[in-house]
Amino acid sequence: WWEAVQPAARDPILGVTEAFLADSDPKKVNVGVGAYRNDEGKPVVLECVRKAEQIIAGKQNMEYLPMGGLVKFNDLSVKLAYGDTAPVLEEKRVAAVQTLSGTGACRLFADFQKRFKPDSRIYIPVPTWANHHNIWRDARVEAHTFRYYKPSTRGLDFEGLMEDLKKAPEGSFVLLHACAHNPTGVDPTADQWKEMSQLFKSNGLFPFFDMAYQGFASGDTVRDAQAIRIFMEDGHQLACAQSFAKNMGLYGQRVGCLSVVCDNSQQAVNVKSQLQQIARPMYSNPPLHGAQIVTTVLSDPELKEQWYKEVKVMADRIIGMREALKSNLEKLGSSLPWKHITEQIGMFCYSGLTEDQVDRLTKEFHIYMTRNGRISMAGVTTGNVEYLANAIHEVTK
């Protein structure tokens, strides 16, 4: 039956973890996948999550959730994204369903887009998280790209972005990273978001925000939602994919939310029913435990406060490691400019290393990262930063 099946290509991100695990060298370092580690290089379970687990333990049944997931979880998630008192929530104009983390939210939306706007396009930034391309490809949506990052400045190519999006036909969908752009760590300023919002309005473009890092850009969940709030103020209908993988450390629980802002409450009911209908033959209904944890944390003022503090601790440790990596490279006498390491934000540093240099880092130094030169700063620690800087210096001499 399967003679014709060839092995699939290694995933550019998760394949790095596979290679790292297969390496037995004690010096090995994994700065590939975007998963937070503490300064000992260990995975972290947040204290607020541990407490929520204790509150839940032994009290919950194991029944199916509805197809759209835990209603309270959805309500709390959209408040986090749009603001507690957002008019769109008071007017019940938001269709929200629990999803299998951010990937599941993007995929559900891509399928919804294909079903109800079958001839529409998606515009994807260059570069972006590798899986975005897979998601819209598998949903069979016509994909186009727009300029986002300028290698010469290691910053945003705002002119290129505006120029490309001006050419997008009316009715196109545009994928935006709400904050802490993956992989570049480069976000538009508030004024640039405002200009983009105007363009979307005048040209009839639909903003789809992937918000996988709320809290990780600035340590403040409200500030990190500024792009969405700016578009909301301009009265856009938009959609948002949220993930609690990074900001609550719930990676393997697969807990996220897809919300679609509609014109009125009846539309929101209709849209939600269709999203549920797409979910039913795919996975029927989402998992229970992660949604219960998030719901417990977000509905308890003390736990929520603790969560804010813990997100900030993670964000601040990463900022500290950016400074350490940069200063170590400078100490080594590297003649290359490294200020982008501290200018970029979120989990990643888009280093500018070439594929060949990355390959050398892996072969000669057992340092694992994606071939586009992205360094997951979450995997950098006081214990490995010197080793990493030295290796980078060696391959960039």
Chain residues in the site for ligand LMR (CB under 6 A): 13, 33-34, 129, 131, 182
Q: Judge whether 351 and 375 are in contact, CB under 8 Å.
A: yes
Residues contacting residue 198 through CB under 8 Å, at least 6 positions apart: 234
What minimum distance in Å lies between the beta carbon of 136 and ligand LMR? 15
What minimum distance in Å lies between the beta carbon of 20 and ligand LMR? 12
What minimum distance in Å lies between the beta carbon of 243 and ligand LMR? 8
R_g (Cα) of the chain, nearest Å: 21
Nearer to ligand LMR, 30 or 172 (CB): 30
In terms of C-beta density within 10 A (0-12 exposed, 13-18 middle, 19 or more buried), how is residue 220 classed? middle
What gap in Å lies between CA 321 and CA 340, rounded to an integer?
13
What minimum distance in Å lies between the beta carbon of 230 and ligand LMR? 24
Nearer to ligand LMR, 128 or 357 (CB): 128
Nearer to ligand LMR, 78 or 212 (CB): 212
What minimum distance in Å lies between the beta carbon of 353 and ligand LMR? 16
Nearer to ligand LMR, 13 or 388 (CB): 13
Nearer to ligand LMR, 183 or 207 (CB): 183
What minimum distance in Å lies between the beta carbon of 104 and ligand LMR? 11
Q: Tell me whether residue 25 is one of the annotated catalytic residues.
A: no
Nearer to ligand LMR, 99 or 172 (CB): 99
Nearer to ligand LMR, 212 or 297 (CB): 212
What gap in Å lies between CA 31 and CA 105, rounded to an integer?
25
Q: Give me the catalytic one of 246, 272, 307, 338.
A: 246
Q: Give me the catalytic one of 210, 272, 307, 326.
A: 210
Q: Judge whether 235 and 325 are in contact, CB under 8 Å.
A: no
What minimum distance in Å lies between the beta carbon of 311 and ligand LMR? 17
Nearer to ligand LMR, 51 or 107 (CB): 107
Q: Judge whether 144 and 175 are in contact, CB under 8 Å.
A: no
Q: Give me the catalytic one of 51, 111, 114, 129.
A: 129
What minimum distance in Å lies between the beta carbon of 34 and ligand LMR? 3
Closest CA to 74 of 263, 268, 342: 268
Which residue lies nearest ligand LMR, judged by its C-beta?
34
Q: Tell me whether residue 129 is one of the annotated catalytic residues.
A: yes
Q: Where on the phi/psi map is residue 172: left (φ > 0), alpha (ψ -120 to 50), or beta?
A: beta
Active site residues: 129, 210, 246
